[in-house]
Amino acid sequence: MSRLSHYSANAIFAAMSLALSLSSPARAADKIELKLGHVATVDNAYHLGAKKFGDLVAERTQGQVTVKIFPNAQLGNERDLIEGLQLGTIQLTVAANAPISRYTTKVLLFDLPFLFRDDAHWDKVVDGKLGEDITSEFPKFGFRSLGYFDGGWRSPYTSKHAITSLNDIQGLKFRTMESPMHIAIYQALGAKGVPMASSEQYSALEQHVVDGSDAPLSFYSQLKHYEVAKNLSTLPLFKLTVHLLISEKAFQSMSPEVQKILVQAGKDASLYERKEARAIDAALRGKLESEGVKVSALKAGELQKFTDAMRKTVWADYTERVGADRIKEVEGTR
Tell me the sheet residues that pair with 36: 69, 92
| pLDDT reported for residue 199 | 84
**pLDDT of the residue at 179:** 87
d(CA 164, CA 29): 60
> b/e per residue, 136-145, with b = 16+ CB within 10 A?
eebeeebbbb
Q: What percent of the chain has pLDDT over 90?
A: 87
> What's the rounded mean pLDDT across residues 157-181?
95
Q: 85 with 251: CB under 8 angstroms? A: no
Single-letter residue type at 168: D
Per the prediction, the chain carries an average pLDDT of: 91
CA 196, 122, 231: angle at the middle one, nearest 5? Answer: 45
Q: Checking DSSP bridges between strand 65-70 and strand 231-233, what pairing results, if any?
A: unpaired
> Which pLDDT belongs to residue 20?
45
Query: What is the predicted pLDDT for the residue at 8?
Result: 41
pTM of the predicted protein model: 0.87
* Res. 11 pLDDT band, cuts 50 70 90: very low
Residue 91 near residue 58 (C-beta atoms within 8 A): no
Please tell me the predicted confidence (pLDDT) of residue 29: 58
CA–CA distance, 292 with 251 (Å, rounded to integer)? 47
Residue type, 179: S
DSSP letter at 283? H
Least Cα distance to 297 among 244, 240, 231 occurs for 231
Higher pLDDT, 256 or 16: 256
Closest CA to 247 of 43, 42, 75, 61: 75
CATH of domain 4-332: 3.40.190.170
Which stretches within the chain are classed as H helix? 9-23, 45-60, 78-87, 97-100, 119-126, 129-135, 166-169, 180-188, 201-206, 217-222, 248-253, 256-290, 302-310, 316-322, 324-332
